[in-house]
Structure 1
Amino acid sequence: MTVLKSANHFGGNFGGKKPAIEHFLVEGLHCPSCIREIEGTLREKTIVKNVRLNLTTHRLAVEWARDSADFHENVTDNNDEIITSLKELGFKGYLFRDDPSAAKDDKEGRWLLICMAIAGFAMMNIMLFSVSEWAGSDMGTQTRGFFNWVSALIALPAASIAGMPFFKSAWGALRARTLNMDVPISLAVILSLGMSVMQTILQSGDTYYDAAVMLLFFLLIGRYLDRKMRNHARATAHNLMSYRPSKATIVKPDGTTEGCVIEMLSPDMIVRVAPGESIPVDGIIIRGTSEVDTSLVTGETLPVKATIEDKVFAGTMNINGALDIRITALAGKTLLDEIIGLMETAEQGRARYVRLADKAAQIYAPAVHLLALLTFIGWMTFSMVGWQQSLITAIAVLIITCPCALGLAVPVVQIVASSRLFKNGILVKAPDGLERLAEIDVVAFDKTGTLTLGQPGMANGDDIDPKDLELAASLAKTSTHPLCRALIVACHERGIATIATDSPLHEEPGMGLRATIDGREVRLGNRDWCGIPADIEENTRYSELWLKSGTAEPVFFAFQDRLRADAAQVVDWFRNKGFDILLLSGDRPDVVADVSKELGITDFTGAAKPQDKIMRLEQLKARGKKILMVGDGLNDAPALSAAYVSISPSTAADISQNAADFIFQSQSLDSIVRAYQISRSSRRLVFINFGFAAVYNIIAVPFAAAGMLTPLIAALAMSGSSIVVIANALRLNLGKLFSSRPSINSSSNSGENK
């Protein structure tokens, strides 16, 4: 076992000292302009040396200027000053706490869902009256007025509730003397509803209740999907923190023990970890022998023997022996914190990709207002129609330019794609994951649990005498060790009885099992436990168990992880399409080399730690490569976040599932190919939708500004454009997808082309 060097990242409060950096969570962030506003304001404060805000995780890091004359000795006063400044800017801030339950409490997401439901319900009911008005050319004035009043009674309360996410955001932007996308949306909704009420009261002209509510409904869909993406990123960091124990058992100099919260520990203290407990700190074993589940570090499912002088890490699991550990790194500087830091850095990079759309919004908002204003002024100046008709024309421009088709161009394709992926056993976690998956040119695989099933299987079972298997099974039956379980499975596959011995059974932690059967001592365990010299059956490629029964020759049981049935086909498919294939694994280099040779992968790395995988991905990214990372272990979580896009199997650790953009449910890897094919088709349809939206605006805006389109026609055009975009997206269900077959060559002629 080896130590990982800690990465430099924001730390915590150690040893009772005032923290150089404090972390806050900020609510109400929507776009990069929020970040610029907050960071710019806080940097002006003399107590602040530096500040950084992560749009994805909503985490604000403030580095204090300790040498400032205004710096308060009481840390709470400094924190309150930051929180007050955030409040003055229209944002809610509070101190960051390592509480995983906070990530589950998504009140804003539930509120968006409620608003979307209200808008959808109101839209469907108002459309019933609108269709009646459009079709009823002989409808009387009183009947038309009644329908308008009913529509108003539905639209006004529905819009006042469903529009709150946009109204609040717009008001906050106006108070800060800035503009965002929600300002023209709010203006169009308020003006169209106001004019509709006026027309209803005067019983003259058309009303636009349906257009206003429909606009809110479709825009809320996009807002909700964006919210889900950002929540998934924040939940990843919170779930990682759940691997950090909150308490530890310290060993005093006199040998007694007592409980202690993690924050009160200090270097060189001794902590005792009982079997089944998580190791709370990074440290060195000074007493005891055990096996440790190091999947957090290596991703490998088999436990590693740990004894005196071995180094262990926070978050890993002690399996079967008590350990006394001398602390070398505390909370904030452990391997677990390093992984969290790597993930946050990767998520920040991903957020910059998402911000490209926000940059367009900065241009769009003032342009729409200016265009509508110029339309109103132009009609007031150069025509005799009066302010009412000029305002109606300006409203038509606002409605026709509302980004409904543009806003749906991506979300509606994502919804259809997500549905088809779900039918194929693939879950989408990141709304922009499809975009990124379609652009990949490198596929990086983890080994254990990804290309393989993560379950050891007996490699030499057919060469072993069934009597030896039965004897070994009599000892292994009651053990929970993965190799013992694999031995029992091998016996079942061969119809060999697995009856536990009646003799007293002793288990030595990290070594093996021992029992006396028919007067003979029988041992099952590692090479040292069974007294096997190192030069017998030299083995570096297999996990091994040995059976030693009395004076009989020792029996060697070899175990290796099993490849998924279609691993070779899937690797061949990507290779034939021109992708670069990588294998990055924490397993032993010789084992990784064997798997790579079997699959025809020439670029592989064994014994890779989390930062080794990150470093390899960063090297490729520096060359302009866009990488798909496929992994399942805790140690893969940072790489999954750092990659351009990522996929995990459903058997992956919870934290890896949260870090991944996609999760596939089946035991086969062909789901990865299908996800790629669907993403390629999705991107093509998104581009078609964008093209249509652009043509729509180029044609419709001049007509609206010229007064040739009423708000009603504008609403119809906007709705029609939405229908076209949706119909185009539904074409995604027509494509044929790849399916793995028993034949090793089937992957070369199945599925769609790249």
Structure 2
Amino acid sequence: MLMTRDFSHYVKDVDADTAHLDLAVEGVSCAGCMAKIERGLSSIPDVTRARVNFTDRRLAIEWKKGALNPALFIDRLAELGYKAYPFEPMRAEIEEASRAKWLLTCLGVAAFASMNVMMLSIPIWVGTDMLPETRDFFHWLSALVVLPSAAYAGQPFFKSAWQALRARSVNMDVPISIGVILALAMSLVETINHAEHAYFDAAIMLLTFLLAGRFLDQKMRQRTRAVAGNLAALKAETATKFVGPDEIREVPIAAVQPGDIVLLRAGERCAVDGVVIEGRSEIDQSLITGETRHVAAERGVAVYAGTLNMSGSLRIKVSAAAEGTLLAEISRLLENALQARSRYVQLADRASRLYAPLVHITALLTMLGWVAFGASWHDAIVTAIAVLIITCPCALGLAIPAVQTVASGAMFRAGVLLNSGDAIERVADVDTVVFDKTGTLTLPELDVVNAGAVPPAVFELAGRLALASHHPVAAAVARAAQARSPLADVVEEPGQGVRTVLDGQELRLGSPAYCGAEAQALAVMSEDPEVSVVAFRRGDERYVFAVRQQLRADAKDTIAALHARGVIVELLSGDREPAVRHAADTLGVAIWQAGVKPAEKIAHIEALKRRGRKVMMVGDGMNDAPALAAASVSMSPISAAHLSQSTADLVFLGKELAPVVTAIDYARKAMRLMRENLGLAIGYNVLAVPIAIFGFATPLIAAVAMSGSSLLVMLNALRARRVN
């Protein structure tokens, strides 16, 4: 019977021409494994992308749609020595928890055996008049304790090395396994031959140190992965959908479409993006937009998937569900951040690939050299084992990915998401930041700036009338007035405004001409040329509301902070000169241009780059996308148009501009730590390898040194969690 494998359920469409599949891969233990898998799959014709996320051992593959059977990828990974299956978050979490428990068990066995064999070794070390038979007895007791313990505790390394050798390749676990097995085998031979020394204690302690380092590495990656897990936990699998005027039904989120109406009860997390059409409540959207205060949710207010409804029930008209929500977009960007790969990572990958064969050649030459200079085979093999262990490039393999992973998670918690592999190192070099104005330095929503000049009762009435209009300026009036109940019998006259009659008086809201308020409008605009105006008329009374986008609350502080860090700030905007001048003067930006077209923004950025400047462009909107692509590095708010987000290297959450400074601070510190880790890893090998070659390090000392170097690199990487 012919059996076929169908992976269509797991394959997703990236676009019209590209398919995507996530696979969970077992046995990924180092940077060398990642590079090997990526090279092996990228070599398949029609594969456009293969990227391993070391944090959760997930392989993301993209290929030309219809060109390949996804089963081919499973087979190719098997040829490389790795077992793979479709990635499912719940299964992945169970697998990772199981692996962590297994590593901890192996560590416990190795540590227990180490303590016991050390007690057995003490009489041999201090027993100057010990009989050979007694010494042999203690050696055999040590063998009885160590051999089964090492066979069990060494499985994480032995299995990985065997899989690599079966695939006719090597990884970092190969020299470790060879060193441990040689030490155990030689100790057994020495015990059989009644020799004075055996190395059971060194072998089992080597495994203890190695397992401790690997377990700590596992826990560090679990902590980083928890950031993504927190977002995944926000995703609701079902929604309460209205299937009739008064009939609701709980349905899978896949069954909800834009335009549907859903019910969000108190205490529930929202499953969709949409707009409130009925009800009033407060929502907690801190994990989605960065806004820490609870936001009032009422008619006309946008809500997002993952936000928590605190009090009343809401009816929401769906604008996006499932993969189209803001939460899904943030999750995608976070995934990119955790998969980010800079040229420093690529350098470490290449070095790790060269190390495995180099380690074996160095150990072999060391052994032969010692024999050539008259040493016994026993001493030559012991020295070669020490070389195998001490030169394992674990520290080098962890040096950059550890910093990248920690820094990416820390930046996310600070409201910054990476969308490009080498964004951190490019942000660290930034010396010039060019801001767009509208939607970047300003908030995307319009606001009424002269609310204090209008009587509260009039303002409330105008807001209730504005609820009937779809015009964005009218919506700003309704939002500023916190209007909840619309007026009845409202008539909208296209292009002019809305009107109704209340208590025998006609109310109008719309253009100044429609309300007969041209003179008042001219007076308001003469005082502030950058505002838009909307007029309100009640009988013979006329009022004019001045509406514009407000500067972000911390924009001035952000610009000052950039100046304090030696960064030059410029403002390029397509808006009118009065509006741009007002923003530049308010924020303290000396270099600015108004009325700038997209092509002119690109030309200006290219001119700055030719002068040797490292330019960060911060902007939103589709017209900013070309300029974002032209800059050395780019950044957009999460509210930006989708095209700008996909072009930008970084995306920031919330209404504050501070993440621009935060990104630069974190990137600069991360780059310092990457260089420090590379220096530590290379310096360790420069010092340790000669010591081992000349016989000054036993296998146990080599194990302590190698594990200590890896631990030092990981602890240094953890400093990337803070910028202070």
The residue aligned with 1:63 is 64
1:35 aligns with 2:38: yes
SS of the residue corresponding to residue 684 of structure 1 reads helix
Q: Quick one: distance in 2 between partners of 1:594 and 1:151?
A: 82
Q: Quick one: distance in 2 between partners of 1:228 and 1:433?
A: 22
The residue aligned with 1:215 is 210
SS of the residue corresponding to residue 571 of structure 1 reads helix
The residue aligned with 2:349 is 358
Map 1:95-134 → 2, pairs under 5 A: 102=89, 105-107=92-94, 109-111=96-98, 113-114=100-101, 117-118=104-105
The residue aligned with 2:639 is 633
The residue aligned with 2:367 is 376
Instruction: State the Cα distance separating 1:711 from its structure 2 match.
Output: 0.9
Match of 1:25 among 22, 27, 48: 22
The 3 A distance-change label for structure 1 pair 393 and 381 is same
The 3 A distance-change label for structure 1 pair 64 and 457 is closer
The residue aligned with 2:246 is none
The residue aligned with 1:537 is 521
**Residues 352 and 397, structure 2, Cα contact 8 Å, conserved in 1:** no
The residue aligned with 1:706 is 694
**Residues 228 and 335, structure 2, Cα contact 8 Å, conserved in 1:** no
The 3 A distance-change label for structure 1 pair 221 and 274 is same
The residue aligned with 2:672 is 684
Q: Quick one: distance in 1 between partners of 2:493 and 2:114?
A: 71
Q: Quick one: distance in 1 between partners of 2:221 and 2:60?
A: 17
SS of the residue corresponding to residue 547 of structure 1 reads strand
Whichever residue aligns with residue 428 of structure 2, its letter is A
Whichever residue aligns with residue 520 of structure 1, its letter is Q
Q: Quick one: distance in 1 between partners of 2:116 and 2:539?
A: 91
Map 1:345-744 → 2, pairs under 5 A: 350-351=340-341, 353=343, 354-380=345-371, 382-386=373-377, 388-407=378-397, 409-410=399-400, 426=414, 437-443=427-433, 451=441, 457-472=447-462, 483-488=477-482, 505=488, 516-523=501-508, 527=510, 531-532=514-515, 537=521, 541-542=530-531, 546-565=535-554, 567-575=555-563, 577-581=565-569, 594-596=582-584, 598-599=586-587, 600=589, 602=592, 612-620=623-631, 625-627=632-634, 629=635, 631-633=637-639, 635=641, 643=648, 646=650, 648-649=652-653, 651=654, 669=658, 673=661, 676-677=664-665, 679-719=667-707, 721=709
Instruction: State the Cα distance separating 1:361 from its structure 2 match.
Output: 1.4
The 3 A distance-change label for structure 1 pair 352 and 173 is farther
Whichever residue aligns with residue 58 of structure 1, its letter is L
SS of the residue corresponding to residue 64 of structure 2 reads strand
The residue aligned with 2:198 is 205
**Residues 446 and 583, structure 1, Cα contact 8 Å, conserved in 2:** yes
SS of the residue corresponding to residue 53 of structure 1 reads strand
Residue identity (%): 30
Whichever residue aligns with residue 378 of structure 1, its letter is G
Instruction: State the Cα distance separating 1:561 from its structure 2 match.
Output: 2.6
Whichever residue aligns with residue 579 of structure 1, its letter is V
The 3 A distance-change label for structure 1 pair 65 and 531 is closer
The residue aligned with 1:173 is 164
Whichever residue aligns with residue 592 of structure 2, its letter is T
Whichever residue aligns with residue 36 of structure 2, its letter is S
**Residues 457 and 486, structure 1, Cα contact 8 Å, conserved in 2:** yes
The 3 A distance-change label for structure 1 pair 160 and 65 is same
The 3 A distance-change label for structure 1 pair 688 and 676 is same
Q: Quick one: distance in 2 between partners of 1:447 and 1:200?
A: 78
SS of the residue corresponding to residue 368 of structure 1 reads helix
SS of the residue corresponding to residue 641 of structure 2 reads helix
SS of the residue corresponding to residue 537 of structure 2 reads strand
**Residues 115 and 163, structure 1, Cα contact 8 Å, conserved in 2:** no
The residue aligned with 2:278 is none
Tell me the alpha carbon deviations over residues 377-415 of structure 1, each in whole angstroms, 9 at most, x when there is no partner. 3345554523x4333222211221123544564577679
Instruction: State the Cα distance separating 1:360 from its structure 2 match.
Output: 1.3
Map 1:114-263 → 2, pairs under 5 A: 114=101, 117-118=104-105, 138=126, 160=152, 164=156, 167-191=158-182, 204-206=197-199, 207-208=201-202, 209-219=204-214, 221-222=216-217
1:53 aligns with 2:78: no
SS of the residue corresponding to residue 553 of structure 1 reads strand
Instruction: State the Cα distance separating 1:37 from its structure 2 match.
Output: 2.2
**Residues 52 and 60, structure 1, Cα contact 8 Å, conserved in 2:** yes
The 3 A distance-change label for structure 1 pair 356 and 730 is closer
The 3 A distance-change label for structure 1 pair 729 and 94 is closer
Instruction: State the Cα distance separating 1:276 from its structure 2 match.
Output: 9.9
The 3 A distance-change label for structure 1 pair 172 and 736 is closer
Q: Quick one: distance in 2 between partners of 1:223 and 1:27?
A: 16
The 3 A distance-change label for structure 1 pair 469 and 125 is farther
Of 409-418 and 394-403, more deviation after overlay is shown by: 409-418
Q: Quick one: distance in 2 between partners of 1:176 and 1:63?
A: 27
Instruction: State the Cα distance separating 1:693 from its structure 2 match.
Output: 3.4
Q: Quick one: distance in 2 between partners of 1:144 and 1:561?
A: 84
Instruction: State the Cα distance separating 1:85 from its structure 2 match.
Output: 4.9
The residue aligned with 1:664 is none
SS of the residue corresponding to residue 698 of structure 1 reads helix
Of 470-479 and 591-600, more deviation after overlay is shown by: 470-479
Comparing both chains, which one has the higher relative contact order based on Cα–Cα distances under 8 Å and sequence gaps of 6 or more? 1
The 3 A distance-change label for structure 1 pair 112 and 335 is closer
Instruction: State the Cα distance separating 1:714 from its structure 2 match.
Output: 1.8
Whichever residue aligns with residue 187 of structure 1, its letter is I
* TM-score where L is the length of structure 2: 0.62
The 3 A distance-change label for structure 1 pair 271 and 364 is closer
The 3 A distance-change label for structure 1 pair 102 and 453 is same
**Residues 78 and 84, structure 2, Cα contact 8 Å, conserved in 1:** yes
Whichever residue aligns with residue 485 of structure 1, its letter is R
The residue aligned with 1:285 is none
Q: Quick one: distance in 1 between partners of 2:708 and 2:14?
A: 57
Alignment root-mean-square deviation, CA: 6.7
Tell me the alpha carbon deviations over residues 237-285 of structure 1, each in whole angstroms, 9 at most, x when there is no partner. x999999x9x999xxxxxxxxxxx9999xxxxx997779999x9xxxxx
Whichever residue aligns with residue 680 of structure 1, its letter is R
Q: Quick one: distance in 1 between partners of 2:74 and 2:498?
A: 59
**Residues 521 and 533, structure 2, Cα contact 8 Å, conserved in 1:** no
SS of the residue corresponding to residue 179 of structure 1 reads coil
**Residues 109 and 228, structure 1, Cα contact 8 Å, conserved in 2:** no
**Residues 49 and 61, structure 2, Cα contact 8 Å, conserved in 1:** yes
Tell me the alpha carbon deviations over residues 612-639 of structure 1, each in whole angstroms, 9 at most, x when there is no partner. 544323312xxxx345x25232636x65
Q: Quick one: distance in 2 between partners of 1:262 and 1:441?
A: 45
